Amino acid sequence: MHKRSDTADRMEHIRPFYVMGLLARARELEAEGRDVIHMEVGEPDFTTPETIVRAGQQALADGYTRYLPATGLPELQKAIAGFYKDRYGVWIDHRRVIVTPGASGALQLALSVLIDPGDQVLMTDPGYPCNRNFVHLVGGEPVGIPVGPDSHYQLDAATVSANWSERTKAVLVASPSNPTGTLLGKADLSALHHEVCKLGGVLIVDEIYQGLVYGGDAGTALSVADDLFIINSFSKYFGMTGWRLGWMVVPDRFIAPVDRLAQNIFLSASSPAQYAALEAFSSETLDTTERRRQEFKVRRDYLLSALRSLGLKIAVEPEGAFYLYADCSALTEDSYSFAVDLLESEGVAITPGKDFGFNLPQQHLRFAYTTSVPRLKEGVDRLARFIRA
């Protein structure tokens, strides 16, 4: 028997990031001398805080370039556990902290250790696109549940219960979320956790945008329950996307299996990055991240009202992350062509809804405020001109 192709069947499920095509086109335009405003990029425009950079340089100079334990540098595991205690008043055993290559590595470990072929994982649609693909990689079935403004684009206990099947094994949520920037409150998280446990599943909460919140602090799901998986990262709040460093917190009984798996898949997360991240929780670094958070808030406030005044509908005020997920149905029936045309004619790059799932993607666009207020203003002026044309 000949296979049609030598690419594994699972690759059929792996969809590209459509925004990457737009980004490539934006780079071409820039190479031709055009000025492009980037509102598609899902990473802070700020570079890594100086304190962390210096610690990383020192680690390299001191020769800390070798493998570390698969679950992470113990001092870093302790520093992360200390952060939960200092900031959120939550005590956790540091051995439950597993240091990973980004939240991406954490998600892959969590899903690999939990999901058997055929198991279903419930998640929001729209949601972070890689989640579906991670589930496919382990032979599971991602089940995207359409969510909208009425539920703040989040899953609640009743929705989870209504979508539960014999094959459901886990529920994956994010707070603050990508692409909508909405949060799950403490009471909602508690009810969700209770429901998932009652149904015999496992709750995974992605808190990668923790700290990037503009009302009250969103806190952590760890203050609600212990028996869940928490995903986090140094990428966003600590401005370390390229260092590839994240972590997760797992229930006690998962420490040994996750360790075994991490030894095999990654050996360990980047050593210099781990030494650098020891500086992430110093007061000097946290002063910097706090200033940046305030700057993100200014940007959000500006862009939210500017987009609304252009006829884009943002029904729920996004309280975190650095994204606005806008309903553009008053302006176009096809958000993808809108994004392509906007880039070509005005040099403004945004992300079309179809990168985030199958729930009304054609009527949504994601705007990232990962650029300065003057650049955002310029982007909004160009967008206004595009809409008028």
Ligand X SMILES: Cc1ncc(COP(=O)(O)O)c(C=O)c1O
Q: Which residues bind ligand X (CB under 6 A)?
A: 42, 102-104, 128, 174, 178, 206, 208, 233, 235, 241, 246
* Closest to ligand X by CB, 73 or 248: 248
Q: Which residue is nearest to ligand X (CB)?
A: 102
Q: How far is the CB of 75 from ligand X (least distance, A)?
A: 20
Nearest distance from C-beta of residue 198 to ligand X, angstroms: 26
Comparing CB distances to ligand X, the nearer of 194 and 281 is 281
Contacts of 331 (CB under 8 A, 6+ apart): 310, 311, 312, 338, 387
Nearer to ligand X, 42 or 56 (CB): 42
Q: How far is the CB of 124 from ligand X (least distance, A)?
A: 11
Looking at the Cβ atoms of 114 and 383, the one nearer to ligand X is: 114
Looking at the Cβ atoms of 174 and 225, the one nearer to ligand X is: 174
Instruction: Report, in Å, the least distance between residue 177 CB and ligand X.
Output: 7
Smallest separation (angstroms) from ligand X to the CB of 178:
4
The two tokens of residue 28 are 């071409």
* Min separation Cβ 240 and ligand X, Å: 8
Contact 67, 267 (CB under 8 A): yes
CB of 94 or CB of 244, closer to ligand X: 244
Structure tokens at 142: 């991602």
Which residue shows structure tokens 């419930």? 122
Q: Which is nearer to ligand X, 240 or 303 (CB)?
A: 240
Query: Six-digit token pair at 154?
Result: 């989040």
Q: Which is nearer to ligand X, 222 or 321 (CB)?
A: 321
Structure-block tokens of residue 125: 């649609």
3-class DSSP string for the chain? CCCCCCCCHHHHHCCCCHHHHHHHHHHHHHHCCCCCEECCCCCCCCCCCHHHHHHHHHHHHCCCCCCCCCCCCHHHHHHHHHHHHHHHCCCCCHHHEEEECHHHHHHHHHHHHHCCCCCEEEEEECCCCHHHHHHHHCCCEEEEEECCHHHCCCCCHHHHHHHCCCCEEEEEEECCCCCCCCCCCHHHHHHHHHHHHHCCCEEEEECCCCCCECCCCCCCHHHCCCCCEEEEECCCCCCCHHHCCEEEECCHHHHHHHHHHHHHHCCCCCHHHHHHHCCCCCHHHHHHHHHHHHHHHHHHHHHHHHHHHCCCECCCCCCECCEEEEECCCCCCCHHHHHHHHHHHHCEECEEHHHCCCCCHHHEEEEECCCCHHHHHHHHHHHHHHHHC
Nearer to ligand X, 326 or 380 (CB): 326
Report the nearest approach of ligand X to the CB of residue 258 (Å): 17
CB 354 to ligand X: min, Å: 16
Smallest distance, ligand X to C-beta of residue 9, A: 25
